[in-house]
Amino acid sequence: MARRAYPNNSPRVVVIGGGTGSFTLLSGLKNYVQDLTALVNMADNGGSTGQLRDELGVLPPGDVRQCLVALSDSPKVRDLFTYRFDEGALKGHAFGNLFLTALERMTGNFAEAVDLASEVLNITGNVEPITLTNVTLCAEGAGGEPVKGESTIAEAALATKPTVWLEPQAKANPAAIAAILHADMVVIAPGNLYGSLAPALVIKGVQRALRDTAATCVYVCNLVTKPGPTTGMRVHDFAGEIERLAGSGFLDYVVFNKQVPSQQLLDKYAHDGEQPVAYDEAALRQQHYRYRGADLVAGSAWGGAQASDPLAGARSLIRHDPDAVARQLMRIYFT
């Protein structure tokens, strides 16, 4: 799609999340919104990112890289930052992860590294780490034991409505808090509930900002459930967990998909145990927030992973249509 002219009253939009959920929303919203900020969870410890964290002690670059790429206006540089080496000592590493790591080591400051990468990628908008604390994500396992590490939590048997925390306790990035407080709309992106969204929502400063902001707060619900803690969860269940993790009933709207993915798409691209997230309008009518259902499934599966991506086999390939979601968010703001 060609870049649209922004209206004079284009809102200031903040997207909170990480990984492919934020990538999808940012890819659509940048065609409608000029003042766009991505706040990225900083708990990723899988694949290339996890290796760089373990070996070099850096903050996790992977989800930040995806958000930078989504907002970039330079196609060739986007491709460069996404490129993964498929052989040798660098096999599995994304160039963008290595670039951000090098910038952090050079500057001694991850936030400055992100700013420099933003200039190289010529992005529309801003990308901010939600914390600059080097944290480990922890969650309550099915037997009450602590489970540590985002990549482990994503596959582990967790307690129902598990307690989730960060070690050490994270201090919110002041730039992230300022973005939430000055936004016109704050959007919680779809993503792994306990592995991708929780590490942003459980930070005390973020919780206070979500409670205090005058922005319209929207959650874009996941398309499919994951085997384990979210099995059988419906739209209002997901929204309830988002608010529980954030510590307040901060949501004004929930946007969800009403379109059932084709059986062919499910058979080909859904992982074992993944099911479309169902919705119960009677239950939704009883909630304090408003809701919008629409056809939001992309017509084709996501094709963003290279074979050399060590996590490619774990990624769900059924994706939101970026433009369809962006249009729903703009309708919420302008009505």
For residue 212, the domain's CATH number is: 3.40.50.10680
- What's residue 8's pLDDT? 66
Q: Which two tokens stand for residue 19?
A: 């990984």
DSSP one-letter string for 202-253: T-HHHHHHHHH--SEEEEE--SEE-TTTTTT--HHHHHHHHHHHHTS---SE
What pairs with residue 158 in β-bridges?
141
- Of 16, 13, 15, nearest in space to 202 by CA: 16
In a domain, 186, yes or no: yes
Query: How far apart (Å, rounded) are the C-alpha atoms in residues 113 and 106?
Result: 8
In a domain, 115, yes or no: no
Indicate the pTM of the whole model: 0.92
Query: How far apart (Å, rounded) are the C-alpha atoms in residues 169 and 11?
Result: 32
**pLDDT tens for each residue of 151-205:** 899 888 999 999 999 999 999 999 999 999 999 999 999 999 999 999 999 999 9
**pLDDT tens for each residue of 294-314:** 999 997 655 544 444 444 444
In a domain, 97, yes or no: no
In the chain, the amino acid numbered 211 is R
In a domain, 117, yes or no: no
Containing structural domain, residue 293? 12-34+132-334
**What DSSP state is assigned to residue 84?**
B
Query: How far apart (Å, rounded) are the C-alpha atoms in residues 105 and 253?
Result: 41
In this structure, the dihedral spanned by the alpha carbons of residues 147, 148, 151 and 155, taken in order and rounded to 10 degrees, is: 0
Query: How far apart (Å, rounded) are the C-alpha atoms in residues 28 and 41?
Result: 20
Query: How far apart (Å, rounded) are the C-alpha atoms in residues 220 and 15?
Result: 10
253-257 and 275-276 strand pairing = unpaired
Domain count of the fold of the chain:
1
In a domain, 175, yes or no: yes
- Of 138, 173, 130, nearest in space to 16 by CA: 130
- What's residue 266's pLDDT? 76
In a domain, 294, yes or no: yes
- What's residue 313's pLDDT? 41
In a domain, 99, yes or no: no
HSE-CB at 43 with a 13 A cutoff on CA atoms is 32
| Cα 302-305-306 angle, rounded to 5 deg | 140
Query: Which residue ranges of the chain lie beneath pLDDT 70?
Result: 1-8, 268-269, 300-316
In a domain, 3, yes or no: no
